[in-house]
Amino acid sequence: MRILSFYSIKGGVGKTTAAVNLAYLNAREGRRTLLCDLDPQASASFYFRIKPMSGQNSKMLVSAQRKASEFVRATDYENLDLLPSDISFRKLDIQIDKARKPKSQLKHTFRQFDGEYDTLFIDCPPNITLLSENIFRVSDIMLVPVIPTTLSRRTYEQLCDFLLKQEIDVERVIPFFSMVDRRKNMHKQMMEDLRGAHPGFLEHYIPYRSDIEKMGTFRAPLPAVYPESRSAREMVSLWREVLERASV
């Protein structure tokens, strides 16, 4: 089982959008996929029309008493299941801190899905916390969306510094551009600068598009509803590139 997480320090950069669509594409290719919605805002669950859980279930991620697999739900799509979010995930940090091995607690939790799924996707809340440190340790690959703006560049570089300090393998980090507005010269320029300064950005990127924005209305992965659209095809290309880079 390979674990992919979608992470950035900054909020609202397209983590959930990428996680939902790419998890769908992965499942569509026949890999058994579980998307874990660890963000208490429950956006990924919302996109799949799955209600968040009742609000007391964060313990399943930190103790052996409840099995997380009991909470898994099937999405409407073949090979794709979801572990719904729970409002109590807000307190995950505190709970992880109390666990016996706080830095590798999630590694232990996710082992239970070995064999049942081929790929695990994790949609993370923004910020650097104990939870995100756990996620860095458990992930085979971290996909980091970056909006080509000065502010995003700063937070991306902060993340790289943090990982270096924690001695976490930066090789596992795959950055890609998100919400790119091609009409903005500033975006173009910033993409060039960033590619120069940080090799490793994916060639393909996710442009800013109104059909992507509308996912909140039709509540489904975009390629499931508009498989022939430009946005869907661009997502497929991006996903291909990730697969080639990381042999998921």
Ligand X SMILES: Nc1ncnc2c1ncn2[C@@H]1O[C@H](COP(=O)(O)OP(=O)(O)OP(=O)(O)O)[C@@H](O)[C@H]1O
**Which of the stretches 12-20, 21-29, 102-110, 196-204 binds ligand X when contact is defined by CB under 6 A?**
12-20
50 lies in the binding site for another protein (CB under 8 A): yes
21 lies in the binding site for Mg ion (CB under 5 A): no
74 lies in the binding site for another protein (CB under 8 A): yes
User: What CA–CA distance (Å, rounded) separates 20 from 141?
Assistant: 16
Rg, Å, the chain Cα set: 17
Helix (H) or strand (E) holding 233: helix 230-246
Strands 141-146 vs 2-6: parallel, antiparallel or unpaired: parallel
List binders of ligand X among 101-140 (CB under 6 A).
Answer: 126
**Which of the stretches 10-18, 65-73, 75-83, 184-192 binds ligand X when contact is defined by CB under 6 A?**
10-18
76 interface partner picked from ligand X, Mg ion, another protein, none, CB below 5 to 8 A per type:
another protein
List binders of ligand X among 188-217 (CB under 6 A).
Answer: 206, 208-209, 212-213, 215-216
**Burial of 230 by CB count in 10 Å (0-12 exposed, 13-18 middle, 19+ buried)?**
exposed
- Per CB under 8 A, the list member of 37, 39, 81, 133 interacting with another protein is 81
Instruction: Tell me if residue 217 falls in helix, strand or coil.
Output: helix
38 HSE (CA, 13 A, CB side): 32
Q: Is residue 77 within 8 Å of 27, Cβ to Cβ?
A: yes
Around Cβ 11, how many Cβ atoms within 10 Å?
Answer: 12
Nearest distance, CB of residue 17 and Mg ion, angstroms: 8
Binding interface with ligand X (CB under 6 A) = 11-17, 39, 41, 43, 126, 179, 206, 208-209, 212-213, 215-216
Binding interface with another protein (CB under 8 A) = 48-51, 71-74, 76, 81, 219
